Amino acid sequence: MSSLRLPPADTALSAHTGWTRAHWEAVADHLLESVVPYATDDFAQYRMPGRESRSGTVSDGLEGYARTFLLAAFRIAGAGGAVPPVLLERYARGLVAGTDPAHPYAWPPLTDMSQPLVEAASIALALHETRPWLYDRLSPAEQERVVAWLGGFVGRRTPDNNWVLFRVVVEQFLAEVGGPYKPDEITGGLERIEEWYVGDGWYSDGAGKNFDYYAGWALHLYPLLWARMAGDAARLERYGERLRVFLGQYQHLFAADGGPVHQGRSLTYRFATAAPLWLGALTGSSPLPPGRTRRIASGVLRHFVERGVPDERGLLTLGWYDTFLPVTQSYSGPGSPYWASKAFLGLLLPPEHPVWTDAEVPAPIDLADQAVAMRPPGWLLHATREDGVVRLVNHGSDRDRIQDPSGVPDPHYLKLAYTSHTGPNLAETAGNEAAGNEAACIDGKAVGVDGEVVVVAPDGAVSRRRRIEPLTTQDRFAASAYRDDLPAGPVHVVTASVVDGAAEVRIHRVTAPAGHQVRDGGHAIAGEEPPTARSGELWASARRADGLVSVVRGLHGYTAAGVAAAEGANAFGRHSATPYVLADAHPGGTAVYVSLVLLTGADEARPPEVRVDGDQVTLDLPGGDSATVRLTETPTCVRVKGGTWTDSPPR
């Protein structure tokens, strides 16, 4: 196993990243070579080190084969088969051995709701792309075994989410090679996702409000790859137009340094976030100039490589940068992170394609500050050119409608904000997890410790933002609400967000029992060394060694501020610190609270001036704008700039 060797940067062709197709090929080759020591006999399974998934060792071994095979397929097909013969031989041997029921490392059969159904889709796609060099060169008996194993998918039940698309691509490949398939199962899977399409290019991953990266790396990816396999021009056009609209928004989810916004599940797939960018180019469905596609996608891969991904063994571990199990799910085994292979979809485009030959084109964040309203998921994105940070304000995605209502709320969905440079604390310790980016009512007491305010509350006495009720998403303004029941009575919180440059102003209308505390938290700053924490009467901050700082200021209604520290709770570093503000006693009934939440790597701007008159809040923003928010049933925001009034209608 060799260390990762990258070619020299090409700043003439790629002025922003320095990366070219040769860099992508080098990373792909390194990943494929590094898993070889973990292969079983005849390469049927790849049993990488790490925590076993709930499906067990054998399923995990299949996962290791299938997901690295997808990477190998993009590498093989993209090179027209001109790769070292040993690469083809490894995956051909593994295919033959894995589908042989008598082999000691045979793959588990495809059964209802089982993890191997997921892996079958990667194998089918890989076989389709490499067919001239692999499947077509198998003996008839070997082909029959492959078809028999994949054919086990026909008639199987899947979860009612992106899994319905795995059947679509598996049965399409079976149709190509004369295997068993049911046309109505293919069309049924494609029709099912129509119920989850919510407009503007966005899909929910199943029923509810499950908005995350699965919209791109699954719900766009598989239908378009299926249409490409099937030669269905009509569906290719339909799905392609949706992707075109989606990418117009999706391009904003990446920081200047390539870091994706840290939100949603399966984040251990890391640079798979680049997959829909390449998909747009591959299917002629992208609104982006070819050079921008490469600039953003290469930025994502380079971001992780520069932060130790893959690790010193050349492996993708369960985590974000380092191994960090709290960012994973119970279905994630040691081979699970290799769904990142989807990032290499661009290798299917020939070397002479403009995405590889055109000069890099700046991403939007390279050019100017950005503010983007993403109405279907209820997201408001604001990014700043000076520090390259992207911030996502969440007023719509919660995934809670498919979760156990008595279970632990998922911090990857339920927070008020996510960013490209921070992640939520994931440890359930003494209220620290809830402090970040969550407006909460607390039936407890505040005590002073070392000059900071630390909240101590009984179990179950902190309100949680679970089923989010989206209210509106407009230009630089969004609002939502949630309800919860505490022992002393019900809580109802309406939150409106106004974004201005790097800052978010949060306005909370809180209906709660008298005496409850109200807390609003900012972004959790994390690093290998403890961040520097500071606090004053109505403000608190946490600063990382590189200058990134998280600040929260109480602008109306709050009485104290503090910083909550945690260890081993954050994907971005061992030590994390979360600033927050606190109101010591809610008056009972309804009250309004206003806070400033800031994450910046640049100089802090002065806070806005705030005037509160009942349910109307007026902000004089530091850039010269004025915003008036009315906390009606559907909150509204009127902004004044240069004497021109703008009032975006609620949607």
Domain assignment of residue 387, yes or no: yes
Domain assignment of residue 12, yes or no: no
Q: Does 249 score more than 90 pLDDT?
A: yes
Express each pLDDT in 457-479 by its tens digit. Answer: 444 488 988 889 999 999 999 99
Domain assignment of residue 643, yes or no: yes
Q: How far apart are CA 257 and CA 419, in angstroms?
A: 13
Same domain assignment for residues 342 and 376: no
Same domain assignment for residues 503 and 539: yes
CB–CB of 381/399 below 8 Å?
A: no
CB–CB of 243/277 below 8 Å?
A: no
Domain assignment of residue 270, yes or no: yes
Domain stops at, among 358, 379, 413: 358
Express each pLDDT in 339-349 by its tens digit. Answer: 999 999 999 99
Average pLDDT of the chain is: 93
Let me know how many helices (H) and strands (E) the chain has, helices first. 15, 26
* Residue 449 pLDDT grade (very low, low, confident, very high; cuts 50, 70, 90): very low
**Winning range, highest mean pLDDT, from 605-609, 633-637, 644-648:** 633-637
Same domain assignment for residues 348 and 433: no
Same domain assignment for residues 416 and 312: no
Number of domains in the chain: 2
Lowest mean pLDDT across 77-81, 196-200, 433-437: 433-437
> Domain holding 199: CATH number?
1.50.10.10
Domain assignment of residue 508, yes or no: yes
Express each pLDDT in 493-507 by its tens digit. Answer: 999 999 999 999 999
Domain assignment of residue 7, yes or no: no
Q: Is the pTM of this model over 0.75?
A: yes
> Domain holding 466: CATH number?
2.70.98
Same domain assignment for residues 178 and 314: yes
pLDDT score for 409: 78
pLDDT score for 643: 41
Domain assignment of residue 14, yes or no: no
In which domain, by residue range, is 301 found?
A: 21-358
Same domain assignment for residues 432 and 520: yes
Q: Does 141 score more than 60 pLDDT?
A: yes
CA dist list (Å): 596 to 249, 455, 584 = 26, 20, 18
pLDDT score for 429: 45
Domain assignment of residue 15, yes or no: no
Same domain assignment for residues 459 and 570: yes
Same domain assignment for residues 615 and 577: yes
Same domain assignment for residues 244 and 386: no
Domain stops at, among 358, 379, 407: 358
Express each pLDDT in 292-319 by its tens digit. Answer: 999 999 999 999 999 999 999 999 999 9
CB atoms within 10 A of CB 41: 12
Same domain assignment for residues 419 and 341: no
Nearest to 304 by CA among 364, 349, 262: 262
Domain stops at, among 358, 393, 409: 358
Q: Rounded mean pLDDT of 522-537? A: 97
Whether omega for the bond prior to residue 37 falls within 30 degrees of 0, making it cis, is no
Same domain assignment for residues 468 and 562: yes
Same domain assignment for residues 43 and 184: yes
